[in-house]
Structure formats: C-alpha cells, structure tokens
C-alpha cells in the first residue's frame, strides 16, 4: 500500500510520541526542519504534501532515538550556530545560543584588523570557526585536550574557515611560547553537585570532560587567571562563558590574581550572569 502520511501528520505523530515519554515535543519540528533544510515557512508550505516513504522511515527512526533521550543534534550529526551548520558528535558539546552571545561580544568589542586569537577548549570549533569566518583578517587558533573533538572541529574548519589552526593539548600547552591579543573559552564549569538538576540527556550523552570542573566548577577560571599574563599581549582581552551562579566568584578570582585588570561580568538575554571579560592593562 502506498504511503499517504503528510508532513503535517508525521510532525503531529512525532510530537505526540515525544510528549508521551516526557521529551520536549519541539524536537519533532527541529528534526524535520534540519533534515529537510527548510525554514518554518517552507514546512508550512509542504504540510499537505505526502512525505516520501524513505524520508518518513528515517524521520520516525530519528524521533525514536530522541524519545529515548538522545539529543536531536547528535541524531542529525549537526547543529546550527551563528548562521552555519556545524558537524557535532558525542565527542563535542552541542553549540548553544548562549555561546553565540559570547561570540557576539568578542566580535563587537575587538578591532576588525589583524588579531591573534585563541579559542581554548574549542570542541566542535564553533567559536574559532565563527570568529575566523566573520573576521578574515584575524589569525585564529583552536585547542582542545580531546583528539576526537579536534577531529570534529577539523571538518568544520574545512567547511567554513580553512585558515583556522587546530592543535591537541591541555589549556595553553599546544601554543607554548606564543602570545595572543584575544583568548576566548567556553570551559567546563559545572559543579558535580549540580548533577541532580541537570537535563538527563546532557548527563547521558554530552562529553563529561567538557561539562564538569573541580573546585565547585571554578577550576578552569583559576588556571586561566594564573596563566593570562604569560599568554596575552600587553593590552589583551580574555572572554569566557560561565555558569549563571558564578559571576561573583569568577570576578573575585580574576581581580585577586590580576589586580590591575578590568573585569566585566555580562548577563545573557535571560538576565543571568553568563560571560566574563578580562582586559589587561599595561
């Protein structure tokens, strides 16, 4: 018998399936839009069209995986970030909207002329690639302790910003002896005690080493604070994402280690502390 399921019917069935198992039903639309490379308007235009059998089968398989808790971005193998599609895998964090705000802050506050820029803990390469693609005059390097993450980042570099340099290693080890005008990072910052309130799919599928940090999630800010004078140029800038409850603690870490630096905590669009900027003074 010929398939007669429309895109609209498939979408509604998927939303019901996800709701039944207490997963976010919006993932049904996300999977459909991303798989078809459609906007929402295009989806509406195709609502009454019969979905080809092979597409329907693939879509139902994807929805089943998400119903079991797997993030939709890992099911698809890619995720949107700052207007581009990035390859992702369980070796990398899924790029998030809050990190787009961090990238926007860097882009809007720095000169468009030649800058040496380092992205520490690059993961999928979303930050490094975006900065390089948006500012071709910059020289961007991305590092990560995970070779598997760097392999994913390399694919995104090849697609969007071949000028980016990638290296494997912990923190600043891969760029020893070099100095940068801008350093940016979305480091691990979750305290292990917060595990109980975390989304289950994040705990089960996203890389643990990219999520959790010692000293109540503050370990990497402490390491950065000690190292910045040796890796930033004289009036260099450091930008990082942080946990929404960490603003005061992160400010104190940098002000204590770098008394003459200017430290700014910025809120995200939801009004939560989310980013820090450290400006060195000569």
Task: Tell me what pLDDT residue 115 has.
Answer: 94
Task: Tell me what pLDDT residue 25 has.
Answer: 95
* Residue, of 282 and 148, whose pLDDT is higher: 148
Q: How far is CA 120 from CA 16, 23, 88, 154, 207, in A?
A: 41, 33, 17, 15, 16
Per-residue pLDDT for 160 more than 50? Answer: yes
Tell me the percentage of the chain whose pLDDT exceeds 70: 88
Report how far residue 54's alpha carbon sits from residue 15's, in angstroms, rounded to the nearest whole number: 20
Binding residues for substrate, by number, are 186-189
Do the domain assignments include residue 2? no
Do the domain assignments include residue 149? yes
Q: How confident is the model over 78-119, as pLDDT tens digits?
A: 999 999 999 999 889 889 888 999 999 999 999 889 899 999
Q: Are 174 and 248 part of one and the same domain?
A: yes
List of residues 6+ apart from 171 with CB closer than 8 A: 120, 143, 145, 220, 223, 224, 227
Do the domain assignments include residue 239? yes
- Number of folded domains in the chain? 2
Question: Residue 39 belongs to what domain range?
Answer: 7-69
Binding residues, by number, are 121-125, 144, 186-189
Q: Are 112 and 60 part of one and the same domain?
A: no
Task: Tell me what pLDDT residue 191 has.
Answer: 52
Report how far residue 9's alpha carbon sits from residue 48's, in angstroms, rounded to the nearest whole number: 9
Q: Are 272 and 134 part of one and the same domain?
A: yes
Q: Are 65 and 191 part of one and the same domain?
A: no
Q: Are 175 and 227 part of one and the same domain?
A: yes
Q: How confident is the model at residue 199 (pLDDT cuts 50, 70, 90)?
A: low
Do the domain assignments include residue 152? yes
Per-residue pLDDT for 179 more than 70? Answer: yes
Per-residue pLDDT for 211 more than 70? Answer: no
**225 CB-side CA count, 13 A:** 21
Binding residues for S-adenosyl-L-methionine, by number, are 121-125, 144, 186
**Cα diameter, the chain:** 76
Instruction: Give the phi and the psi of residue 79 in degrees, each rounded to 5.
Output: -150, 145
pTM (2 d.p.): 0.87
Task: Tell me what pLDDT residue 198 has.
Answer: 43
């Amino acid at each position: 018998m010929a398939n007669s399921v429309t895109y609209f019917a498939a979408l509604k069935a998927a939303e019901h399936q996800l709701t039944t198992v207490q997963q976010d039903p919006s993932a049904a639309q996300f999977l459909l839009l991303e798989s078809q490379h459609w906007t929402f308007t295009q989806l509406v235009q195709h609502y009454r069209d019969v979905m080809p059998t092979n597409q329907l089968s693939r879509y139902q398989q994807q929805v089943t995986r998400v119903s079991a808790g797997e993030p939709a971005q890992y099911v698809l193998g890619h995720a949107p970030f700052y207007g581009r599609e990035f390859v992702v895998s369980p070796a990398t964090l899924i790029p998030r909207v809050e990190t787009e705000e961090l990238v926007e802050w860097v882009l809007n506050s720095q000169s468009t002329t030649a800058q040496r820029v380092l992205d520490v803990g690059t993961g999928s390469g979303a930050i490094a690639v975006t900065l390089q693609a948006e500012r071709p005059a910059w020289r961007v390097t991305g590092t990560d302790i995970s070779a598997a993450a760097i392999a994913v980042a390399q694919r995104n570099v090849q697609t969007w910003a071949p000028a980016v340099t990638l290296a494997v290693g912990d923190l600043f080890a891969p760029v020893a002896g070099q100095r940068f005008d801008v350093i940016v990072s979305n480091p691990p910052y979750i305290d292990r005690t917060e595990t109980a309130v975390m989304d289950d799919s994040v705990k089960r599928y996203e890389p643990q080493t990219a999520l959790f940090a010692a000293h109540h999630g503050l370990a990497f800010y402490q390491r950065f604070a000690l190292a910045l004078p040796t890796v930033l140029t004289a009036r260099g800038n450091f930008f990082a994402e942080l946990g929404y409850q960490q603003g005061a603690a992160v400010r104190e870490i940098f002000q204590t280690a770098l008394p003459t630096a200017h430290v700014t905590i910025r809120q995200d669009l939801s009004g939560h502390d989310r980013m820090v900027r450290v400006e060195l003074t000569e």
